[in-house]
Structure 1
Amino acid sequence: MTGQSASASLSALQKILLVISAVVLAVVLFLLRNGMSAESPMDQLARRSLSPEVALSNQAPTMLEFYADWCEACREMAPAMLDTERRTSGRMDVVLINIDNPQWQDLIDRYEVNGIPQLNLFDADGELRGRSLGVRTPAELEALSTALIEATPLPQFSGIGSISALEPVDSIATATSGSAGPRSHG
């Protein structure tokens, strides 16, 4: 073997070892970043979620979360939501709705989702009791789930609003007849 061919063989071997090292490093980094888990807490919750229709009609309180896979705040809250789902199993339903799935557009419109994560909080009869916008701590999620399960007033946290009943359409029309509304251009 000449000196030049030995040098070429050594160079080819170095390149192969470099590629193998890079692949091994990439796999290790991927596993470390994903916690050595094949499924994130958000994926586990989404997979185990009941359909909203079933959850809202099965006589159990429901915490419905609107989320997106790309939402950093949703991913941050996911472990606490998974813990809430496990802790309240059989007493409350935790349902995830991915806003990027066109299947749920009717629910997104119905519940006026304009930010995520958004929690809609329902009593055992499927009636909307409140709404929460933004990340909730484990303690806040525990307080919310306890209030839903025990049918007590929702805790007063920043970003949580109660839902009030609207007047029937007929009474509004009667009260405002003859006056210009915001869209009447009159």
Structure 2
Amino acid sequence: MATKAVSDESFESDVINASGPVLVDFWAEWCGPCKQISPALEEIAEEMSGSLTVAKVNIDDHPMTPGKYGVRGIPTLMIFKDGQVVSTKIGAMAKGKISEWVQETL
């Protein structure tokens, strides 16, 4: 399993109550940079399977969650650990930069 689609309804069970760290990608269909980083996130999800979950929240379909976490621009990536945001990055990054950030954060 690669990335996991998460909704406003499932956010608590999928992210807040997750057993391990979760990288959440807040994105939208119309967002070019979101599409650019999507393949990198898929690869990271597969490479780190078992130690990191990569979840995606479509902000158009599920506006409550990004609002709750103050998401202003997309893509916004947040790493949650034990139900808390431990790190946030805004904007598209190369896969290597995302991986580095994840490793540093975990």
Same fold judged by TM-score > 0.5?
yes
Deviation digits for residues 146-182 of structure 1, max 9, x if unmatched? 2343xxxxxxxxxxxxxxxxxxxxxxxxxxxxxxxxx
Structure 2: how far apart are the matches of 1:132 and 1:95?
Answer: 15
Q: Is the 8 A contact 1:61 1:148 kept in 2?
A: no
Higher strand share: 2
> How big is the shift at 1:144?
2.1
Aligned positions of 1:48-59 closer than 5 A: 48-49=4-5, 51-53=10-12, 54-59=14-19
One-letter identity of the residue aligned with 1:96:
K
Structure 2: how far apart are the matches of 1:130 and 1:78?
Answer: 19
One-letter identity of the residue aligned with 2:22:
T
> How big is the shift at 1:117?
0.2
One-letter identity of the residue aligned with 1:81:
L
1:77 aligns with 2:37: yes
RMSD, matched Cα: 1.6
Gaps of 5+ in 2: none
Residue 121 of structure 1, aligned match among 71, 79, 83: 79
Give the 4+ runs in structure 1 shifted more than 4 A. none
Name which structure has the greater RCO, CA cutoff 8 Å, separation 6+: 2
In structure 2, the residue matched to 1:90 is 50
Gaps of 5+ in 1: 1-43, 150-186
**Count of residue pairs brought into register by the alignment:** 101
Higher helix share: 1
> How big is the shift at 1:89?
0.8
Residue 112 of structure 1, aligned match among 56, 61, 70: 70
Q: Is the 8 A contact 1:92 1:145 kept in 2?
A: no
